[in-house]
Structure 1
């Protein structure tokens, strides 16, 4: 039952004379994989680590356009050639209490960031975000990694030219090539500071024992893997107060910021995350006030909750708040470019992928499976990132079965054995295998894939597994095709162009696309400052991705969050995941609603 899934705690006073505990509850659609910044890559686990670990920087919560601000460190000193960044850790930041510290209150220092970044280069951690650091070319770290790959223990104590502790609070990054935008990556929780003694204390169990300096900490004794996660206030968290500046064109956000100004952060005491994979119980939990917010209103309930994009009258009467926004997001189906069935850059293989793309009816996908909560994509670049242009048009969104069949016929994908299904040019069976998950929306998407491919006379089978299992298989190159979402953590199109960069195979590059011409252009745009020259190179890359079709980019999704009236401060910064530290809860109103 939904009520059991949420395991609602009583909302009484904690002790005589003390204030009631403020608890915020909502759900994830996908289970966590763990809590170690060096190992997790999925959106949901990274949402959790964002609340536990301090990256050097972060994005100001309400600032638009998006703006970096200090987090674990002050804003860095950046050399004129963008090759050297010097950071200063903010003094007086302390890790959450943990047995690894043996009763000592442990301060965050420069060595913690140097150690945390080195962990991504240690092969035993299998970092899925290593590509971001490797692309920057931090001097000396590749050599350490190569030695470890040959069997030597990774040498954390060796100083390297590109990553050094300067003194107790200062540390420095030096790169081979200047990157004007590299520091944006240092606002991501994957570079959140961990303490070496914690990692060594827990060893192989470090994914289960996150200890950071940010506002929250994991309550291990209440964590139920793939079911319930509880974060509580870090008692050692610094004094930090709500001081957000809202955009001039958003009077609603200005009023909200004025109401909350000066309150100590975080304003809530506890965040409870339930894992509810199916959309119906997730929506019902919100409607019954068992959840304070529903993140990404399920598509099948969109017409009920927000007909024509407007909050339904019955929800408005209850005081429900609606926050509608576009993420920097793409929903894609990738083709494994190393798979003998769909991979390769030979003309007939390119033709197969392009024909499959032309056979996908995006209009039906948006209307039926996604219930209007998306717009068709023209390429890899997504809204809210530098380089995206709404004027860019391409074959990516085209639906043309006649053209698709013509391409297949021209390149020899015809029925050779008379069974009514197309075969490969060599006569072997042409059978697609598409990985998917056992939830309502993915079932609807799979049904559309079946109908689309049936119309082209291409056989398709579905490989069903839960999301963490598919992710593991994808990174190992074991999937032929998979439908997955990708959200940028920085407001720059490089976050999507990286999906095709050859050196990122097995990390961001799920398609395992590795084209020398693309790689060269990708490296060129990374070194260029923002401006017309870089934009022109980015467009070339976008068109190249359309031409070779390692990814069928389906849509850019539109998200709608809804919250009950006792939640104050609801506003999403798409480059901040820990939005809940800026929320407040009216406990009395929450209690009354749950008693009804």
Structure 2
């Protein structure tokens, strides 16, 4: 997946490019930062949040979520209307609105290129092309889109190029604007897959064939922005797509949502996008990003935990920031921070009682409340499972035992199953007497150090020797995908309002893909499968509870917390409201260039 930093096919435009006549107006720039580098911009090859965020501004799925509606509501984006699903939820028909065009690109030989149903069919097939090793393939295969997995397996076996033109029963282009997708199992919530640019963003075949192995650097879509500059791991610049269709600001905030109603009143009816340029800077480290915001170089940012007390006081923006017009708000996130255990690892993996006991002891020995209180500065709630807040299936009333802190019970479990300190050096050994060492990958930056120290203290308290292996996050992600890490802590943000997707991190058929732990328990897999077929209701909610109990019992994953973002926004940024699932926020915000500090050279 690694590619050398490069410019996109289009050239960066000068600041005056959006001027009308001779009276040039100031360029509206939206400036945000990622704290971890991107991987690239091909939907078929990425799985990280940062790359997906950029892609969502360029490449469009058929549906999206209303930007201001809470609870969330699905709305057509390029679709001509609602998804037409059969009564048994095995067939879903998508109709594309005519007259939508891709951004100009040399791949189109100077001709306008209209979006058609075949573009979505092609984009879906690309996840099954072995050439791309798509991290999304396993999840899509589990959806059982008829015929695609068979095409993948044939191409893998024969080592022949993937056949994009062979008809398959699950992906039928009925006419220029109509696509039918047929599944091997019912899916009442299939429409949520159609809201993801990373899964179902429209990609033109001509673009992929023109750029070949360099497609990661050449995203071309129907969206409001296009990539004009990419300095890998440093800067990603998007600018307004000059051929973007006419789209007006429309949203449906709840009547009692004062902030949402104010945004709608101010921006409603205006043509989108409202800004001319988006600059995503990669700023690693906690302090540099916050200082860049305070200097006026970023338009919004998350307040680092160490600065939370100075940014928000008694639930309100600190006076020194308020005087500058800055606002700070608490935003609950639809995510979960968790540690997974590699079930194939000879130390922490396995299904025998002593291996389960070790994982449960590690969980009991780790103090989640101390993490929240001291490291996160109160900006999180303890997790009872991996299903995040703001998703269906989340239950904040039940105490599952997932976040229990009880070092005495941890020690008792370790003693009972033979994890003893036989040589008196203070560290427990494996039941067979060999050294017991927990190898934990992390990064050496200031943001990770407090977590590392907490792990060290908690494990030492129960006699477990934890060794920290420092490296780059991207390299460790590749190790996780290859199944070579013993354990690792990650954050996972929900992409849809249904809580089943996060449970897939321990779903057996996805091991080697989204299931980094490799956990494969038939009882859990059966619960997961049944959950996917049922409509929402009490029976399905009972399965969420059963899945949570199984995860606590076997502990392939230790859920830590659901994070709360302390969001700081500059006074010149207009209309930003955090959405739990939409990634293309730049489409909906405005910037007052007369108040925003001029860009630095």
TM-score by length of 1: 0.96
Partner deviation per Cα, 1:355-380 (whole Å, 9 max, x = no partner): 00000011211112111111111112
Deviation (angstroms), 1:395: 1.4
Deviation (angstroms), 1:107: 0.9
Match of 1:454 in 2: 460
Say which SS state the counterpart of residue 273 (structure 1) adopts. strand
Deviation (angstroms), 1:470: 1.4
Match of 2:484 in 1: 478
Deviation (angstroms), 1:590: 1.1
Q: Which of 88, 103, 111 matches 1:104? A: 111
Question: Which deviates more, 499-508 or 30-39?
Answer: 499-508
Say which SS state the counterpart of residue 595 (structure 2) adopts. helix
Contact 1:323 1:571 in 2 (8 A): no
Deviation (angstroms), 1:479: 0.7
Q: Which of 544, 555, 558 matches 2:561? A: 555
Deviation (angstroms), 1:10: 10
Say which SS state the counterpart of residue 589 (structure 1) adopts. coil
- Say whether 1:186 aligns with 2:189: no
Match of 1:206 in 2: 215
Match of 1:254 in 2: 261
- Say whether 1:498 aligns with 2:504: yes
Contact 1:202 1:209 in 2 (8 A): yes
Match of 2:168 in 1: 160
The 1:36/1:180 distance shift into structure 2, 3 A limit, reads same
Whole-Å separation in 2 of the counterparts to 1:287 and 1:538: 43
Q: Which of 404, 414, 434 matches 2:410? A: 404
Q: Which has the higher helix share?
A: 1
Q: Which of 122, 127, 130 matches 2:134? A: 127
Whole-Å separation in 2 of the counterparts to 1:100 and 1:176: 36
Whole-Å separation in 2 of the counterparts to 1:113 and 1:260: 31
Q: Which of 362, 368, 379 matches 1:362? A: 368
Say which SS state the counterpart of residue 399 (structure 2) adopts. coil
Whole-Å separation in 2 of the counterparts to 1:574 and 1:117: 24
Whole-Å separation in 2 of the counterparts to 1:300 and 1:216: 35
Unaligned runs of 5+ in 2: 1-12
Deviation (angstroms), 1:37: 0.5
Contact 1:380 1:545 in 2 (8 A): no
Whole-Å separation in 2 of the counterparts to 1:433 and 1:310: 41
Say which SS state the counterpart of residue 262 (structure 1) adopts. coil
Mapping of 1:334-373 within 5 angstroms?
A: 334-373=340-379
Whole-Å separation in 2 of the counterparts to 1:209 and 1:254: 38
- Say whether 1:21 aligns with 2:30: no
Contact 2:247 2:272 in 1 (8 A): yes
Deviation (angstroms), 1:525: 0.7
Say which SS state the counterpart of residue 282 (structure 1) adopts. helix
Partner deviation per Cα, 1:39-87 (whole Å, 9 max, x = no partner): 1100111001111101111111011111111112232111111111111
Whole-Å separation in 1 of the counterparts to 2:14 and 2:549: 56
- Say whether 1:525 aligns with 2:531: yes
Partner deviation per Cα, 1:529-563 (whole Å, 9 max, x = no partner): 11111111111011101111111100000012211
Match of 1:174 in 2: 182
Deviation (angstroms), 1:416: 2.2
Contact 1:110 1:169 in 2 (8 A): yes
Moved over 3 A (4+): 9-16
Contact 2:361 2:410 in 1 (8 A): yes
Contact 1:567 1:586 in 2 (8 A): yes
Contact 2:342 2:556 in 1 (8 A): yes
Deviation (angstroms), 1:438: 2.9
Whole-Å separation in 2 of the counterparts to 1:556 and 1:166: 43
Deviation (angstroms), 1:509: 1.1
Say which SS state the counterpart of residue 565 (structure 2) adopts. strand
Q: Which of 293, 297, 318 matches 1:290? A: 297
Whole-Å separation in 1 of the counterparts to 2:206 and 2:498: 35
Q: Which of 263, 271, 274 matches 2:278? A: 271
Partner deviation per Cα, 1:485-539 (whole Å, 9 max, x = no partner): 0111011110111111011112221111111111111101110111111111111
Deviation (angstroms), 1:13: 9.0
The 1:309/1:475 distance shift into structure 2, 3 A limit, reads farther
Deviation (angstroms), 1:11: 7.5
Deviation (angstroms), 1:292: 1.2
Contact 1:108 1:213 in 2 (8 A): yes
The 1:127/1:275 distance shift into structure 2, 3 A limit, reads same
Mapping of 1:379-390 within 5 angstroms?
A: 379-390=385-396
Q: Which of 225, 229, 235 matches 1:228? A: 235
Deviation (angstroms), 1:421: 0.8
Say which SS state the counterpart of residue 366 (structure 1) adopts. helix
Whole-Å separation in 2 of the counterparts to 1:507 and 1:316: 45
Match of 1:5 in 2: none
The 1:86/1:25 distance shift into structure 2, 3 A limit, reads same
Partner deviation per Cα, 1:427-464 (whole Å, 9 max, x = no partner): 11110111112322211101100111111111111122
Whole-Å separation in 1 of the counterparts to 2:181 and 2:435: 52
Contact 1:11 1:591 in 2 (8 A): no
Match of 2:400 in 1: 394
Whole-Å separation in 2 of the counterparts to 1:252 and 1:331: 29
Contact 1:370 1:441 in 2 (8 A): no
Mapping of 1:561-576 within 5 angstroms?
A: 561-576=567-582
Contact 1:13 1:20 in 2 (8 A): no
Whole-Å separation in 1 of the counterparts to 2:130 and 2:385: 33
Match of 1:146 in 2: 153
Match of 1:92 in 2: 99
